[in-house]
A = this chain, B = another copy of it.
């Protein structure tokens, strides 16, 4: 594995591989890797010839009162983990490499798809995500890019951006990887106290229970949301940001559940905001 810090050097390597007809797989991350990230890299390794992973904590997707500075970082450990997954190039640019002085260009996906769910309480978040992802896709020019479904709205927004802007890449959504008790893996789980960590399993548990209710033909989304809110509120440190049931494709609100829906939630434990979701196909 080669660790590369500049756009120029990465591009030169990728162009050389492309000239040989190699297919490029790309896994963009913010580092502090866990099994969720690694599962994306292993899938890319299986499906493409040259695997590029990036680690870049993207300042433009954090709000002014969010955890950009505090976001956990451990480049040495991350490099060992990516190497074990068979990654060929680890791209670790500085903030200045990605956003040089006088940077002014942003990619915006408008409408409900970015305004709902996490967009409500994180204004500008998805604009930062789509801007950095479009830059990274332009730098890496992958055939396939791999994203975890834990950030379901992120995947939907990126997929919409890629289609709208005619970016020639396949977006591959990959399953959520969960801890032994069902908690979705997240770099932010490291923020949790041991009490909060125990309580946090209510998120996935309640989602799995809601899934079962839907398969039992309980299709009134208001009632399912009430059930979820009720269950999650049983954890005394849980502060619900949102619990929503939306169309799996365009993320529009759903009243009567049918077809493919996404049950998505964001819940704070102390200062730590966790998200989780489950897709249900009827």
CB within 8 Å of B: which residues of A?
7, 11, 102-111, 113, 130, 134-135, 138-139, 141, 160-161, 164-168, 250
Residue of B nearest to A141 (CB): B168
Most buried by B among A111, A141, A165: A165
A106 touches B108 (CB 8 A): yes
Contact partner, A7, options B105, B108, B135, B166, Cβ 8 Å: B166
B168 touches A104 (CB 8 A): no
Contact partner, A104, options B104, B106, B111, B141, Cβ 8 Å: B111
A103 touches B135 (CB 8 A): no
Residue of B nearest to A127 (CB): B108
**26 A-B pairs, CB-CB below 8 angstroms?**
A7-B166, A11-B168, A102-B111, A102-B250, A103-B164, A104-B111, A104-B160, A104-B164, A105-B110, A105-B130, A105-B160, A105-B165, A106-B107, A106-B108, A106-B110, A107-B108, A107-B165, A108-B108, A134-B165, A135-B164, A135-B165, A135-B166, A138-B166, A138-B167, A138-B168, A141-B168
B161 touches A105 (CB 8 A): yes
Contact residues in B for A7 (Cβ distance below 8 Å): 166
